[in-house]
Amino acid sequence: MIELLLDFPDGRSCPVLVGSGASAELASQIPDRARRVAVVTQEGIPVQVETDRETQVFLIGQGEKYKTMSTVEELCSQFANWGLTRNDVVVGVGGGLVTDVAGFAASVYHRGIDVVHVATTLLGQIDAAIGGKTGVNLAQGKNLVGTYWQPSAVICDTALLGSLPEREWKCGLGELAKYHWLGGGTLDALALDERVAACVRIKAQIVASDERESGQRALLNYGHTLAHALEVDGDHKLRHGEAVAIGLVYAAELALLMGRIDAAEVEEHRRVVQGYGLETGLPQDCDIDRLMGLMGRDKKVLESGYTFVLLGEAGVEVVRGVDPTLMRQAFDSMRSTA
């Protein structure tokens, strides 16, 4: 078992346990003062939650259409009907959707109660469950309403990853690929537990230095500007990690055109992404004009113009005011190497 600690400058900390069978450690992570444990999960998630407190399971629906304010309202009403108090704890067991919704419900119920996450997908373990972002979607866009609410512990049971559907696994690998350029180096050479732990370590370090994304935390969005646009343009036929994989290669092509990196580095992006069995080319039917429009409206954009996380000599950094002509040329480069 690998035990990591996400340490915040103000003294708060969040243990993260990574390893095969780590979910057996859940009982030890329930805060002492909790008398009741509200487990939020979905049908079919293969984790038996064992605690030594009074425990009740609350199921939420499958799919983004359930990542809503009404699901959170429903959960909070069920918590209230059961008598959950502010000393009790919510445990989110599942992928990113579950931990985002469970974390949000915990953060607003009685103005905030403890939450522990048991992340069951690769994407959840290396990203969604770490760092305290919670949220739900609005008709206007993904994750537009949410809170920062740090879990009191996170459990990443790598034994659960063996039974992930192929597409869900690949989705996690797309997100994992980005860590190669966030200090991960040759992540692909590590065993699975070590690889998950290495990503958690990188994310923990970034989040601890910038919990509310006023600077460094935005670097975690490497590859995401195009990825979010591709997801919307294709009506979510591409899964998030698949879109991030393509977004990483696009960000490299753009950085090359801006003279920030050389062609060998672009090839390295392709090698890593393809090494994880992911596509590097644009979907045949994507609409470049629409993608340009969507990238201009990305949630990370704080002022007019296009904003990207791009690689350069000093590593990745946020670059504002990117020239749209170069962005279009980067699409041409993607098409010509497809």
For ligand GLY, the nearest residue by Cβ is: 220
Shortest Å distance, C-beta 117 to ligand GLY = 13
- Our finding on whether 97 is near ligand GLY (CB under 6 A) is no
Q: Which is nearer to ligand GLY, 220 or 252 (CB)?
A: 220
CA atoms within 13 Å, Cβ hemisphere of 21:
1
- Our finding on whether 151 is near ligand GLY (CB under 6 A) is no
Binding residues with ligand GLY: total (CB under 6 A): 5
Shortest Å distance, C-beta 129 to ligand GLY = 10
Site string for ligand GLY, 109-128 (x = CB under 6 A): ------------------x-
Shortest Å distance, C-beta 35 to ligand GLY = 31
Q: What sign has the CA pseudo-torsion 292, 298, 304, 309?
A: negative
Per DSSP, the residues of 15-76 read EEEEETTGGGGHHHHS-TT-SEEEEEE-TT-------SSEEEEEE--SSGGG-SHHHHHHHH
- Our finding on whether 178 is near ligand GLY (CB under 6 A) is no
Q: CA 19, CA 195: separation in Å to the nearest integer?
A: 11
- Our finding on whether 211 is near ligand GLY (CB under 6 A) is no
- Our finding on whether 133 is near ligand GLY (CB under 6 A) is yes
Shortest Å distance, C-beta 130 to ligand GLY = 7
Q: CA 152, CA 14: separation in Å to the nearest integer?
A: 5
Q: Which is nearer to ligand GLY, 220 or 273 (CB)?
A: 220
Q: Which is nearer to ligand GLY, 51 or 134 (CB)?
A: 134
CB atoms within 10 A of CB 189: 8
Comparing C-alpha atoms, which of 251, 230, 247 is closest to residue 310? 251
Residues that bind ligand GLY (CB under 6 A): 127, 131, 133, 217, 220
